[in-house]
Amino acid sequence: MAKKVVSEEERRRRRPTRQGVVVTQRLIVETALRMLHEHGRDGLTVRRLGLALGADPSTLYRYFRGTDDLTLAIADELIARAMHGRRPTGQWRTDLREIGLRIHTAYLAHPEAAVLTASRVSGRANEIAGDETVLGILRSTGLPDADVVRIFQAFVDQALAFAALDAASLALPEAARAADEQVWRATYAELPARTHPNIAALAPLLVARMNDSAYPTALEMLLDSAEADIRRARGDNDPDTA
């Protein structure tokens, strides 16, 4: 039988921990994010979380149904951080670009949490609000509903996929990440034109780009595709491209 999750009001009435801190759902999520950053995914355990909070490990179950429920709350918190302070312009391309880059930045600020949560669907308030916002931007262009949903899926999946990919690199031990980055200079750049003419011809450009995220480029390509769809739907050549 699932454990009862008490209301937020009931939680606030509880006594402080030994460290004088009143445990809240938000505090648990913030502490879990810090632990993921410091100890990695394997280091986030109920016992360690309890120690970090100065509370009994079972405290977690007063606020969450288990560690998976906590994971979904972390996912929702990353979306909240991505959307916090956003100021819409009313220009569909500008607004979608900003949201995509905000998601990517918010996830990369917490790479271990990003790898843990990027593939999850939390169904929580911030995720739902973010989805509603993106769908509203796309519908404002006049696209047919089927195209709105198609582009919405591509936009969200692209942002989260690149966030997970780039975060996984950042989450590597520093020595491993440095070794991976060096491969382009030490291996690819040294391949002879006789056996690898294309790599050799492009080696300087590859070295300059391949250790950076391709997400901004991929995002612009997606927006270009959406713009073409909008032009077709409107039957004109002058969509909002700002």
Yes or no: say if 163 and 118 are a contact pair by the CB < 8 Å rule: yes
| Residue 5: burial class (beta carbons within 10 Å; 0-12, 13-18, 19+) | middle
List, as own/partner pairs, every contact residues 25-33 make where C-beta atoms lie below 8 angstroms and the sequence separation is at least 24, other chains included. Answer: 25/63, 25/64, 25/73, 27/53, 28/53, 28/60, 28/63, 28/64, 28/70, 28/73, 29/70, 29/73, 29/74, 29/77, 30/77, 32/70, 32/74, 32/113, 33/74, 33/77, 33/110, 33/113
Q: What is the pLDDT of residue 239?
A: 47
Residues 6+ apart with CB under 8 A from 95: 88, 89, 137
pLDDT in tens, the chain (242 residues): 555 555 555 554 355 655 556 889 999 999 999 999 998 888 899 999 999 998 988 888 999 999 999 999 999 999 999 999 999 999 999 999 999 999 999 999 999 999 999 999 999 999 999 999 999 999 999 999 999 999 999 999 999 999 999 999 999 889 999 999 999 999 999 999 999 999 999 999 999 999 999 999 999 999 999 999 999 998 875 545 44
Tell me which amino acid residue 25 is: Q
Q: What is the pTM of this model?
A: 0.86
Q: What is the pLDDT of residue 17?
A: 59
Structure tokens at 132: 């509603």
Q: What is the pLDDT of residue 13?
A: 39
| Residue 63: burial class (beta carbons within 10 Å; 0-12, 13-18, 19+) | buried
Q: What does residue 61 show for φ and ψ, rounded to 5 degrees?
A: -80, -5
CA dist 34 and 57 (Å) reads 17
Q: What is the pLDDT of residue 43?
A: 87
Structure tokens at 137: 């931007």
Distances, alpha carbon 185 to alpha carbons 167, 189, 207, in Å: 22, 5, 6
Q: What is the pLDDT of residue 9?
A: 53
Q: What is the pLDDT of residue 12?
A: 43
Q: What is the pLDDT of residue 236?
A: 74
Q: What is the pLDDT of residue 22?
A: 83
Question: Which ranges in the chain belong to alpha helices (H)?
Answer: 8-12, 25-39, 46-53, 60-63, 67-83, 92-108, 111-117, 125-139, 145-170, 174-186, 197-209, 215-234
